[in-house]
Chains A and B, each alone.
Chain A
């Protein structure tokens, strides 16, 4: 799942990993859409993290469709 933080809470794109492996067109389209959003947000300066329960978050530079959850946070500045 890809979650992009925004003023609306978070926008989500989900896909089924097993269906992606099986080459399901709908699941592949969801992955492509998630990849596009990932690149678009990164270009805006956002940071992406791979988040797994019970583990520290890990910053990622490349989209990984095998990640259980990717959270994208907007660029931060000193307040």
Chain B
């Protein structure tokens, strides 16, 4: 094989690698992100803030249900990853809320933030939230 062919082959592989790497990054990023220091610390806080039952619910169902401290028939459904918080009243979704911190936080911290705000500061939480009423 001539030198020029070898160089062209090497260049070809470099081009293929450059094309594939971003795709691999997009594919594995969520898993790598889970291992970052920030995510690990946030996961520690999440485990400390939830009871074992709540933690199981979050892992298996993908959301945490936080009962309203003021309205017995109301439950807030906080997703494990970023997204709207569903407001369930008498077993029916009545509203979606969008509330976010001014600073970017790991997903696990967001779950804790919503839980704390709802449990201890519900009125303020609802004041701040953008509300989207669910229509049947």
Contacts and interface: CB of A to CB of B under 8 A. Distances in A.
A51 B112 CA distance: 11
A47 interface: yes
A60 to B, nearest CB: 9
A40 to B, nearest CB: 14
Interface string B106-121: 1001001101110111
Which of B69, B105, B128, B130 neighbours the largest number of chain A CB atoms within 10 Å of its CB?
A: B105
B119 A76 contact: no
Given A71-B45, A76-B113, A7 B103 contact: yes
Interface in A28-79: 45, 47, 49, 51, 53-54, 56-59, 69, 71, 73-79
B112 A7 contact: no
Contacts of A58: 120
B104 interface: yes
Contacts of B116: 47, 49, 51, 57, 71, 73
B125 interface: yes
A59 B119 CA distance: 9
B119 A10 contact: no
B105 A76 contact: no
Classify chain B's interface size. Answer: 35 or more
B93 interface: no
A71 B112 contact: yes
Contacts of B103: 5-7, 74
A23 interface: no
Interface string B27-52: 00000000001111110110011010
B98 interface: yes
Interface of A: 3, 5-10, 45, 47, 49, 51, 53-54, 56-59, 69, 71, 73-79
